[in-house]
Structure 1
Amino acid sequence: MSTQTEISQAEGSGLERALSNRHIQLIAIGGAIGTGLFMGSGKTISVAGPSVVLVYMIIGFMLYFVMRAMGELLLSRTDYRNFADFAGDILGPWAAFFVGWTYWFCWVVTGVADVIVIASVYINYWLPALPAWIPAVAVIVLLILLNLPSVRGFGETEFWFAMIKIVAIVALIAVGLVLVITGFTADYTNVHDNSSFEGSASFFNLFDPAYGGFFGGGFMGFVMGFQIAVFAFVGIELVGTAAAETKNPEHNLPKAVNAIPVRILLFYVGSLVILMSVVPWVAFSKDESPFVMLFSLAGIGAAAHLVNLVVLTSATSSANSGIYSTSRMVYTLATDGDAPSVFAKLTSRKVPRNALFLTGVLLLSSLVLLATGLDKSTGFSIVTTISSLCFMFVWTLILVSYLVYRKRRPQDHATSKFKMPLGTVMPYVVMAFFVFLLWAFTKDADTLAGLIATPVWFLLVGIGYLALRNNPAHAKQRADHVAKVAEEKQAAAAWLASNR
């Protein structure tokens, strides 16, 4: 822990390192497994077919390098609290402002999507007559109460939320394997042409020509599969937000990041392969959770209720992570003068209470979407597209920060114990992939609407920054940054000259 952090904690004004290794590992899993996998995969399966497995693998592969870049940068300075800190330190005060507020907005939008799905899908599954606004308000109040006591309280809550998801997915895979081995057979309805057919559980379902083969949705179906699948990975960078409250980050952060490929293969690829092996992909509806649908179609009613409870827990976990991360990001912005100082105040247990309340109030916007009927597939797609695009912006600035860091601080990169693999090539490959995703978002009316709406946010952030940049504090920050860049360039040149 840096001296600066120790002093601030002693004065009662800093965050507390109370998240242990088991907390940070499960937070990393829980943040990435949420509504996008349990709810959004229904639409990706319906448009892409079995090739959705490849979609998830490609996205996971690309984002692994974003995480490695983030990990190296966070560990290069002990006083970095999150990626907004290193973006501002490396790229300039503007980057901290844009990354901080955009990441906050990312999670607010994601939280709204989670609350909508909880209220209109998962609770509605049991209580169809209950007005959706009641469970929506109840969830928001519950999450605020869970996050208020202490950061350790959040860590414990998220640990058990994530554990439930892990156990459920592993159980799903085990049950699915039994159904495949026993050749389970049932009657299904093809949602694309409403025809009835009999299907048997088999891995051959992934490639069966009767269902269109592995690329059953065609090339454009494969492309469109990326649109909603990206949303399944939002939160993968959550461990970067928790860096300031993580015990022994030099050990725990690399361990969490390095486990990402295994998690993707097990939780994403494994569950989707089993789902589409037991139930032919043409039987999955875009408006239903495929996890619930699998057991419902198989006639196992009690199991369907259990799975609905699990996906309800998952969505609540994702929203819980969002409330945590937004409060910490607003706290960081406030301590840097980029947000009102009232949000820099902490409770006696080092919790940014005012920042938590801010997010809770904004989550109430989900009630408007529920009241206007935008809680179904169309509204969900627009909201998740906006969220995905904002996360892509944050991921891109992490990569840009990494490239500048390697050029301006080669000595730090050389001594790093957690170097990003293929660091000279993969940032450009991943950013090119993001350009492909932007193109993919134009190929569907719902995601195109989200793509068109997203620039409004960046316009608002730009106006906000222009309004603040001329005050004395910001002017000093920019001047200090220019001087620091000049010093770092000189130090880099001297280091390179001495190591030739």
Structure 2
Amino acid sequence: MIIRGFSTDAGASTFTNLWSHGGWFPNGANGFILSFQMVVFAFVGIELVGLTAGETEDPERVIPKAINNIPIRIIIFYIGALLVIMSIYPWNSINPAASPFVQVFTAVGIAAAAGIVNFVVLTSAASACNSAVFSTSRMIYSLAREKNAPKSMTKLTSHKVPANALFFSTAVILITVILNYIMPEGVFTLVTSVSTVCFIFIWGITVLAHMKYRKTRPELAAKSKFKMPLYPVANYAILIFLAFVLVVLALAEDTRVALFITPLWFVGVVIIYYIRKSRIERKNQTEELSE
């Protein structure tokens, strides 16, 4: 469509549409900055690539290949899609209340455009949900083996799948269904914002743990066949970016609430930790006295 100069109701399709309608940030950079909350949420779960190391037969070959494919997929499916869409329809001709993909397919003459895009969205959501259930069930199973979760969560099926942990992870997803009925207008922003804050913490801890590992175990780091590039500059750059996203969350009223709700989760986790710790200490003391 772009190469042939396909005409739409907004004019001819051409790459010049990317910069000929007010240039970059025609309405200022505010919208671009505020979009980082949703952009970061879109990458929630990207660390699952490392989590699957325990499920693969050849992690030294598979994991580096999978990680290196991530930026390629981002360039093609995110940046590439945006370049194509806005070359066909300039930014000021796209309806923000509808899918730009539907708009393009409709212009081509595909009557079932909305149905096709909805099908793709649903399958993508199902795929993301499947990844989330996989990761959380394995994490709960690991916690249970370390006695940080109920023992029943260690139960495995004949196919070595942590069944109870899987059922529990699936049940938790139903909370979002309940929230959708209680607050249908703001539930998506609330859930995505809280998830963003939680994963900023997870990613930050991961980066700090990597720095600690490289500092305390240099001999093991030297043997690694797949080292993080630009260490430690990249680590500090990541931490600065994560701090920037937290500031962005504080700027918008609908995302700011996540900064107040999420700490309550961490407070609850800390309280549970100390309760469990005190129980273990009392149990150890009782066992010592009985001996």
Could you tell me whether the CA contact under 8 Å between 1:469 and 1:475 is conserved in 2?
no
Q: What secondary structure is seen at the aligned counterpart in 1 of 2:5? A: coil
Q: What secondary structure is seen at the aligned counterpart in 2 of 1:470? A: helix
Structure 2 residue identity aligned to 1:349: H
Q: CA deviation at 1:437?
A: 0.6
Deviations 1:303-328 (CA, angstroms, capped at 9, x unpaired): 33222211211111101111111111
Partner residue in 1 for 2:194: 386
| Pair 409,204 (structure 1): closer, same or farther in 2 beyond 3 Å | same
> 2: CA distance between counterparts of 1:318 and 1:413?
32
Structure 2 residue corresponding to 1:435, chosen from 226, 238, 243: 243
> 2: CA distance between counterparts of 1:383 and 1:305?
26
> 1: CA distance between counterparts of 2:283 and 2:101?
53
Could you tell me whether the CA contact under 8 Å between 1:292 and 1:308 is conserved in 2?
no
Structure 2 residue corresponding to 1:290, chosen from 83, 86, 100: 100
TM-score (norm 2): 0.90
> 2: CA distance between counterparts of 1:280 and 1:224?
21
> 2: CA distance between counterparts of 1:408 and 1:386?
33
Q: CA deviation at 1:446?
A: 1.5
Q: What secondary structure is seen at the aligned counterpart in 2 of 1:264? A: helix
Q: What secondary structure is seen at the aligned counterpart in 1 of 2:278? A: coil
Q: How many residues align?
A: 284
Partner residue in 1 for 2:20: 208
| Pair 215,364 (structure 1): closer, same or farther in 2 beyond 3 Å | same
Structure 1 residue identity aligned to 2:73: R
User: Is 1:184 paired with 2:44?
Assistant: no
Partner residue in 2 for 1:304: 114
Structure 2 residue identity aligned to 1:455: P
User: Is 1:281 paired with 2:77?
Assistant: no
Partner residue in 1 for 2:219: 411
> 2: CA distance between counterparts of 1:369 and 1:280?
36
User: Is 1:314 paired with 2:136?
Assistant: no
Q: CA deviation at 1:285?
A: 4.5
Q: What secondary structure is seen at the aligned counterpart in 2 of 1:250? A: helix
| Pair 230,401 (structure 1): closer, same or farther in 2 beyond 3 Å | same
Q: CA deviation at 1:454?
A: 1.5
* Equivalent residues in 2 for 1:128-139, closer than 5 Å: none
Structure 2 residue corresponding to 1:263, chosen from 68, 73, 80: 73
> 2: CA distance between counterparts of 1:287 and 1:383?
21
Partner residue in 2 for 1:13: none
> 2: CA distance between counterparts of 1:258 and 1:353?
32
CA RMSD of aligned residues (A): 2.1
> 2: CA distance between counterparts of 1:199 and 1:464?
61
TM-score (norm 1): 0.54
Partner residue in 2 for 1:354: 164
Structure 2 residue identity aligned to 1:206: L
Deviations 1:137-183 (CA, angstroms, capped at 9, x unpaired): xxxxxxxxxxxxxxxxxxxxxxxxxxxxxxxxxxxxxxxxxx21222
Q: CA deviation at 1:450?
A: 2.2
* Equivalent residues in 2 for 1:53-452, closer than 5 Å: 179-187=1-9, 198-209=10-21, 212-296=22-106, 299-374=109-184, 376=185, 378-452=186-260
Q: CA deviation at 1:287?
A: 4.7
> 2: CA distance between counterparts of 1:367 and 1:235?
20
> 1: CA distance between counterparts of 2:100 and 2:191?
20
Could you tell me whether the CA contact under 8 Å between 1:241 and 1:329 is conserved in 2?
no
Larger mean CA deviation between 315-324 and 464-473 belongs to 464-473
Structure 1 residue identity aligned to 2:49: V
Could you tell me whether the CA contact under 8 Å between 2:180 and 2:187 is conserved in 1?
no
Structure 2 residue identity aligned to 1:397: I
Q: Which segments of 5 or more consecutive residues in structure 2 lack a partner in the other structure? A: 285-291
Q: CA deviation at 1:184?
A: 2.5
Deviations 1:179-210 (CA, angstroms, capped at 9, x unpaired): 212223333xxxxxxxxxx343221121123x
| Pair 292,471 (structure 1): closer, same or farther in 2 beyond 3 Å | farther
Q: What secondary structure is seen at the aligned counterpart in 2 of 1:229? A: helix
Could you tell me whether the CA contact under 8 Å between 1:334 and 1:340 is conserved in 2?
yes
> 2: CA distance between counterparts of 1:411 and 1:474?
40
Could you tell me whether the CA contact under 8 Å between 2:41 and 2:192 is conserved in 1?
yes
Q: CA deviation at 1:242?
A: 1.6
> 2: CA distance between counterparts of 1:372 and 1:294?
35
Structure 1 residue identity aligned to 2:138: R
| Pair 227,410 (structure 1): closer, same or farther in 2 beyond 3 Å | same
Q: Which segments of 5 or more consecutive residues in structure 1 lack a partner in the other structure? A: 1-178, 188-197, 477-500
Q: CA deviation at 1:435?
A: 0.6
Partner residue in 1 for 2:288: none
Could you tell me whether the CA contact under 8 Å between 1:231 and 1:388 is conserved in 2?
yes
Q: What secondary structure is seen at the aligned counterpart in 1 of 2:8? A: strand
> 2: CA distance between counterparts of 1:366 and 1:288?
24
